[in-house]
Chains A and B, each alone.
Chain A
Amino acid sequence: MNRLISVVAQAGMWLAAFISVFPFLWMVTGATNTANDITGGRFLPGTNLFVNIAKFFELVDAGRVFFNSFFVAITGTALTLVVSSLAGYGFEIFASKARDRVFAGLLLLLSVPFAAMMIPLFVMFSGAGLINTYIAMIAPGVASIFMIFYFRQNTKSFPHELRDAAKLDGLKEHQIFWFIYIPVMRSTYAAAMIILFMTNWNAYLWPLIVLQTNEMKTITLTVASLATAYTPDYGLIMIANVLATLPTVLVFFLLQRRFVEGMLGGVK
């Protein structure tokens, strides 16, 4: 009976994994096919890969577009990690009635739909003369309520004894954060980094509003523009999809080892 369950579990997990990965396979094979083969549902590798690639690099200023995406994603991730983990730590370690009320209020802020805030946000940034800048793209996301929540939750598993010992050793509060908390919580940071990198890389609606010139466009916006031609070229779109997805997949694979390492060797 137990054996049967484990066989079923094993099979079920592999099926789930297959379903999860299938669209990626579809995308990669699509990138090697012509537009007509793709809409015709062909699921075999074709011979059009280099034609699609050539067309992509002909139409898109790839260097510029990828630089923008990387710059925004890396800067945005780093700043968000610092600001939000500081706050998450503060809310949990120094919990007080007043701060808990503020924290609950954040939840309500999180619930305001972004579409309702876009126009006033745009007014603010244009008032500050920051339209079409990296700052405008990054700044509104730096204090991420979601990440503050996430760090507060995870701080619950940060052992108080470590803090107490550090205090006895004469460490100041900010030293405890930088030298004890961050190293101990590295698994938490690794996971957050993956999530933030992909959020920033994939950001769409807000960058769309604040970016005005081709020089500032990210790869995500470029793909959207390619996908809405009068007669969309799916071969081209698929290769653009692959190129737009590759960096997030790579970052995930790069960090994943640390992520797992941290989880196993981190807080018990």
Chain B
Amino acid sequence: MKMTAFKGVLAVAGIQLITATMALATDITVWCWAPEFNGAAMNEAIARYTAANPDTKITVVDFAKGDLETKLQTQLASGTTEGLPDIVLIEDYGAQKYLLSFPGAFEPLTDKIDYSQFAKYKVELATVEGQTYSLPFDSGVTGLFYRSDLLEQAGYKADALKDITWEELSAIGDKVKEVTGKPLLSVDMNDAGAIRIMLQSAGSWYFNADGTANIKDNPVFKAALTSWVGMLKNQNLYKSVSGWGDYTGAFNNGDVAGVFTGVWMTGGIKGNNMSGKWAVAPIPKLAGVEGAGHASNLGGSSWYVLSSAPSKDAAIDFLQKVWASDVDFYQKILVGQGAFAAYLPARDGEAYSAADAYFGGQSVWKDFSDWQAAIPGVNYGIFTNEADAAVTAQLPGLIDGGDIDAAIEAIDAQIAQQIQ
């Protein structure tokens, strides 16, 4: 009865009712965020696939990242599969959360994809009980992007930035500020990204493999927090910003001389008409921590197939044919979007070894490849957002001179409370 009334209204209003059930078997829908990055890479893949499979229509729908997560979580929780896409992009930090809280929602691809061809840490984070669910997409391998012209003025050549500690970076910041008048970094105090980078660079994380919090008795966490707070106390080192636009604006404008972040920022940095003035160094390492290195990861995401998807098989075929085999495709999105692949054979392509004039002739992609190989794999667990919130809550107090052990105690307590 309710339905007929609704349909009557529909007919009167002349509205087309679009539902997933009406979709043809070869319609594939993809959800992602960042149309200029993920969306553009996906569209390139679609163009390649549909050239060979003209019957297949693949549509990309983009949302803001937080919005996409809200939508996905609502739909999965509602238990209704209608309207879900066939393929969805999920950030690596959230992978385990989705896989564990919505069992059965995602299609295992273990038998369909040759995972030995992908960066190992990306495969591990999408694996639950022996099944792997993702098509690993972009890497978040980290680097220290810096303005070579400004650092040279301050007396630092490329070699001076290799094999340094975070404390040494802080000292370099003093000198850069003194000579050029510009801070070295832009920092958003609400972003725990730096802590995550430091933790993973030493093969550690907020959580143990069994999911319990790894805060209180974790020397790496203490070292990371201490280093980061030390850097934040050095007002010369950074420009304080708030929000993402402000953060990227600072180095894109030339207000600050550098940024340490994921490789996916390369495209944004190259969009600035500052050719020859940029370079990339490995990130500094945690001093006095065993196993700490210069390679880490920030962000990055992967494609997942929904097991309820009406065009599941076609979606998997699409991922296999392009995303898990087309080396040339990866060259194209590397050059076009700066999307750095987790697909290892892609690195043998020519784009990956080319020197880049924007970075003063440095072979940046080759460097990133080398660093990527050294990233320690960690299990992100399911509570990364909660842990981030607990850490950033303590930062203002610590910068004002708060006691580090008391703060760690508080972070541990907050996380323990949240993960029950």
- For B244, what are the chain A residues with a Cβ–Cβ distance below 8 Å? 228, 232
Q: Which residue of A lies closest to B265 (CB)?
A: A230
Closest Cβ of chain B: how far from A268's Cβ, in Å?
A: 40
A89 at the interface (CB under 8 A from B): no
Q: A75–B80 Cα gap in the complex (Å)?
A: 28
Chain B residues, CB < 8 A from A230? 34, 36-37, 248, 264-265, 267-268
A208-B80 contact, Cβ under 8 Å, with A133-B17, A213-B59, A229-B35: no
Please tell me if B19 contacts chain A, counting CB pairs below 8 Å. yes
- The reply on A127 being an interface residue by CB < 8 A is yes
Is B401 among interface residues, defined by CB-CB distance under 8 A?
no
**Within 8 Å of chain A (Cβ to Cβ): is B163?**
no
Interface range, B side: 35 or more
Residues on A with C-beta less than 8 A from B65 are: 228
Interface centre among B66, B78, B255 (most CB of A within 10 A): B78
Q: In the docked arrangement, what's the CA distance between A123 and B81, Å? A: 10
Question: In the complex, what residues of B have CB within 8 A of residue A181's CB?
Answer: none
Contact with A along B72-91 (1 / 0, CB 8 A): 00110111101101000000
Whether B275 is near chain A, meaning CB under 8 Å from some CB there, is: no
What number of A-B contacts does a CB cutoff of 8 Å give? 125
Please tell me which one of the listed residues A40, A59, A122, A128 contacts residue B75 in the complex, with CB atoms under 8 A apart: A122
For A120, list chain B residues within 8 Å (CB): 78
B245 within 8 A of partner (CB)? yes
Q: Mark A126-160, 1 if CB is under 8 A from B, else 0.
A: 11111111110000000000000000000000000
Chain B residues near A135: list those with CB within 8 A: 6, 9-10, 15
Q: A221 in the interface, Cβ–Cβ < 8 Å?
A: yes
Are the CB atoms of A208 and B83 closer together than 8 Å? no
For residue B193, give the distance in angstroms from its CB to the closest CB of chain A: 13
B250: nearest chain-A partner, CB-CB: A39
Contacts A39-B249, A231-B267 given; does A127 touch B34 at CB 8 Å: no
Please state if A126 and B66 are interface contacts (CB–CB under 8 Å).
Answer: no
Q: Identify which of A35, A118, A134, A227 contacts B64 (C-beta below 8 A).
A: A227
Top 8 nearest A-B pairs (CB, nearest first) are A39-B249, A231-B268, A228-B64, A126-B80, A131-B83, A123-B78, A232-B245, A212-B83
Which residues does A use to contact B, with CB under 8 Å?
A: 35-36, 39-40, 59, 75, 118-120, 122-123, 126-135, 205, 208-209, 212-216, 221, 224-225, 227-232, 234
Q: List 30 A-B contacts (CB under 8 A).
A: A39-B245, A118-B74, A128-B3, A131-B80, A132-B83, A135-B10, A208-B63, A208-B70, A209-B74, A212-B20, A213-B61, A215-B18, A216-B18, A221-B63, A221-B67, A224-B64, A224-B67, A225-B33, A225-B67, A227-B245, A228-B64, A228-B244, A229-B37, A230-B37, A230-B264, A230-B265, A230-B267, A230-B268, A231-B268, A232-B245
